[in-house]
Structure 1
Amino acid sequence: MAARRASARARPNVLVTGTPGTGKTTTCSLLADAAGVAHVNIGDLVREKGLHDGWDEDLDCHVINEDLVCDELEDRMEEGGVLVDYHGCDFFPERWFDLVVVLQTDNSILHDRLTSRCSWRKRGRATRRI
């Protein structure tokens, strides 16, 4: 197994992932406050910075432009001390993260959470990658 190159970052970067409703945003918000690190919610970043290729009417979500997201985050990730909150991990460069945490929730709890949100899609939280 190849040795991992030592990071020049003073603080680690962590990706918190899992299906919608597992508590990613809540967990990251609490951790960011407690540890004094940045919390980046990818869905919010995409909407705020326009890092998408439009709206998919069928899926009722933005179509994320992965290249734009990575370009936007590159410098921040090199500095370190970032909690990234997103439901997937496959388009981020592996070198960005020192730890990946996958949150899981019992399906009955997950159902109740998503139902109580009055459909997370209607609130514009859904995103789809290209």
Structure 2
Amino acid sequence: MIILITGTPGVGKTTVSSILVEKIDAYLVNINELVDEKHLYNGIDEERGYKIVDLDALFNEMDEIIREVDGPDRYVVVEGHLSHLFENSDIVIVLRANPDVLRDRMKIKGWKAAKIRENIEAEAIDVCSYEAFQIHGDKVNEIDTSDIPPVQVADLIIDVINGDKSFPVGNVDFLEYLK
């Protein structure tokens, strides 16, 4: 089973994914680490300070990894803000966070004001969920991490995996933040 965990930077993807893989004994693919390790980028956006990822190369590498580790009783968790663009999935989880909470998290990490503003706007207009839904449809679930500890978020994802709960796209809404 392939589980994609995506969301705007700062929503808790890495923390939640590391807890989740321990709880369900899954293989973890961290997209940022994979991009760095295999040099799957075409350059650096100097203004924004991030790598320009070669998506075709990334997805080819992910396909290869999944072929090696996937099996009928095996979970593969793919974590990263680009993971929802990968078409191969069984479940997609979009982690969300209130833009004010997100701003605080990014400030703590020392992010630049322009990057914080860009990511807060992306979160408010729901970019990751929209893109994920366009590719994966009803496989997509949204979970608001604003006030929930990462362990509890991982437990909610397990409930989705087991078919006990669903959190359809549209259940989290931060559009009022733009007013």
TM interval, short-chain normalised: 0.7 to 0.9
Q: Determine whether 1:84 maps to 2:78.
A: yes
CA–CA distance in 1 between the matches of 2:38 and 2:51? 12
Structure 1 runs (4+) greater than 3 angstroms displaced: 88-91
Partners of 1:36 and 1:118 lie apart in 2 by 33
Letter of the 1:47 counterpart: D
Contact 2:6/2:84 (8 A) holds in 1:
no
Normalised by the length of structure 2, the TM-score is: 0.56
Among 23, 26, 32, which residue is 1:43 paired with?
32
Instruction: Report the counterpart of residue 100 of structure 2 in structure 1.
Output: 108
Deviations 1:31-75 (A, max 9, x none): 011111111121121011100112121221111001110111112
Aligned-partner SS, 1:103: strand
Code of the aligned partner of 1:87? H
- 1:19 paired to 2:8: yes
Contact (CA 8 Å) 1:76, 1:82: kept in 2 or not?
no
The CA deviation at 1:106 is 1.6
Matching residue of 2:139: none
Pairing partner for 2:53 from 34, 48, 64: 64
Normalized per residue, the structure richer in helix is: 2
Query: For the residues of structure 1 that align with 2:55 and 2:80, how far apart are their CA atoms?
Result: 12
Structure 2: any 5+ residue segments left out of the alignment?
116-179
TM-score, with length taken from structure 1: 0.75
Sequence identity (%): 33
**Structure 1 residue 89, shift from structure 2 partner:** 4.7
The aligned residue for residue 148 of structure 2 is none
Q: 3-state SS of the aligned residue for 2:36?
A: helix
Tell which deviates more after alignment, 62-71 or 73-82.
73-82
Q: CA deviation at 1:85?
A: 1.0
State the aligned residue count: 108
Comparing 112-121 and 96-105, the one that deviates more: 112-121
Once the 2 structures are TM-superposed, how far is the Cα of residue 114 of structure 1 from its aligned partner?
0.6
Structure 2 counterpart SS, 1:87: coil
Q: What is residue 44 of structure 2 aligned with on the other side?
A: 55
Larger RCO (alpha carbons 8 Å, 6+ apart): 1
